[in-house]
Amino acid sequence: MKTTIKILTVAAFLMTTGLESAMAHHSFAMFDRSREEFLTGTIRRWAFNSPHIALYMETEDGTLYSLEGAAPPSVMSRSPSMNGFTFQPGQTVSVVYCPLHDGRPGGALGYIIDAQGTFYSPNDGGCGPSPDWEEWVKQGYTSRAEAEAAQ
Amino acid sequence: MKNMVNKLVHSAIMLLFSTLLQAQPGPRAQLPDVVPPPQRFATSTGHYEYLYNSHNGGTSHSYDSVPKWEGLWSAQGNNSGNQLFLESLDGSPIGPFGEGENVVIKEGVLTPEYEAAFQYRRDLGVDYDRLTSCEPAGMPRWLLEPYVREFINTPSQSWWTNDLANDTRRIYINQEHKNIDGTHYAAGDSIGFWVDDMLIVHTVDIYPSDYFRGTPPTSNQFETVEVWRMETLNNGTKRLVNNVTFYDELSLVEPITVVYTFWPRQDLQALGFRMRYWECAQNDNTYLTFDDEGRPSTQYRLPGEDGYVDPRGNDRLRNPDLPAGLVGQEKSPIFNDDVQ
């Protein structure tokens, strides 16, 4: 059953972003792809660097989250497309991410949601977020587990 | 009933995996047929020399006439990777990294020692990838890795770059193999000759590698004969096709011939993408480690942790021989976004 859940998660991600983004130069063993969490904070850095883009975001309690995404050419190909100027320090955004297994403040990016409510998909194989998040955000859920338990 | 539903869901998902693996992003197009070698060759050298002789040494191109494959390209469909080495006991498709509940290694494709090594790798899972340490994919994995490539052909050399790990193949046209270094290389040593608009390439002296993450390893005896051409599909789209035969007396029972395709990325060009140096060692904070059970695994460093590399700021690990805080040393002065 555990394997099926893993496969379902990755399959959902592939359906939304394609196989290219499942590929990377490293595995995603450190990310818990069965969990999807929602956070809001202030961008400290949007690093549009090879081999992976990264978002560093500080939450209200002062915690700095390090969130990794796909490679720049992959992220540019998404809709909406992203580049190094899409997000800037000081900007408030929300994210859906798959956390590190060990509980440190970091993980794999699923979505970035700007103040206008636009969903960006900078993810690679580290996180295949549910397409239901658009609805779940409106309903105020802060994790996939919470949203699914309520339904 | 529950088991049946689970099986159906599983089959549908794996079918999706399989479809995606064969038709990576880009315009959907059927894979070209694989063209087997004209006869069975014991070695790649025998194969290449046969083609060279049967084409009378090929075509000598000038700068004007050499085929132009310019622009950006990405890997598209192929019938290589784990499709060659795995089979599903219940007919369900096989995932890109070899996933699947009833997936086993095909018998008679790999030599016994490499079949056992592949099983060893599969038993450990796919939580490890040698490329994490930033080494280039090399051959044959260069053919399957994603991201962006450029194919520059001149009459005497072709330079084919992949932005992943700055992994450049150089093909020396109408020349002999050379190895003055007494070692092998990730991309090996490639020579080739043109036959009109078709390029035939022979590659030897390749590091032991793999076809992709989660596939069997190749040995340091792995060699290839490739036949490259650009073709135009019915809808006018161009694509590059590589019909390649793998030779490896240590890992393969028989040579294998497969096809890889590449599609043009005008979409990325329109968005302003340019290939830059792939700053893996300088920017990447993932690293290889072992999990609690001693299995190879992967971890991720956060700012402030030992070994963290800063892709943007004035990183003390980069220039410890300069005074701390020296003005103008941030790699990216565009944003004030220090996260040390």
Burial of B282 (0-12, 13-18, 19+ CB in 10 A): middle
B169-199: b (≥16 Cβ within 10 Å) or e: bebbbbeeeeeeeeebbbbbbbbbbbbebbb
Return d(Cα B226, Cα B217) in angstroms, integer: 20
Q: For residue B25, which residues of chain A lie inside 8 Å, CB to CB?
A: 18-20, 77
pLDDT in tens, B16-50: 344 334 334 455 679 999 999 999 999 999 999 99
**Which pLDDT score, from 0 to 100, does residue B336 have?**
80
Across B198-323, the runs of DSSP E, i.e. the strands, are 198-204, 223-232, 238-247, 256-264, 286-290, 296-300
A111-126: b (≥16 Cβ within 10 Å) or e: bbbeeeeebbbbbbbb
The class (CATH top level) of B2-270 is mainly beta
CATH of the domain at A111: 2.40.50.140
Say what the pTM is.
0.89
Q: For residue A124, which residues of chain B lie inside 8 Å, CB to CB?
A: none
Number of domains in chain A: 1
Chain B: closest CA distance from residue A143 (Å): 22
What mean pLDDT do residues A89-96 have?
97
**Which pLDDT score, from 0 to 100, does residue A23 have?**
62
Domain ranges of chain B: 2-270, 281-314
Q: Is the peptide bond before B96 cis (omega within 30 degrees of 0)?
A: no
Burial of A43 (0-12, 13-18, 19+ CB in 10 A): buried
pLDDT in tens, A7-21: 444 444 444 344 454
Nearest to A74 by CA among B287, B271, B285: B271
Rounded to the nearest integer, the mean pLDDT of chain A is: 88
Candidates B126, B267, B303; nearest CB to A77: B267
Give residue A35's domain range: 2-149
Longest dimension (CA), chain A: 43
Residue B310 in tokens: 């800063």
pLDDT in tens, B277-298: 999 988 899 999 998 888 899 9
Let me know: does A65 contact A106? Beta carbons within 8 Å.
yes
The answer to whether residue A4 scores a pLDDT higher than 70 is: no
Nearest to A46 by CA among A19, A16, A77, A75: A75
Candidates B20, B134, B148; nearest CB to A14: B20
Let me know: does B186 contact B207? Beta carbons within 8 Å.
yes
pLDDT in tens, A51-85: 999 999 999 999 999 999 999 999 999 999 999 99
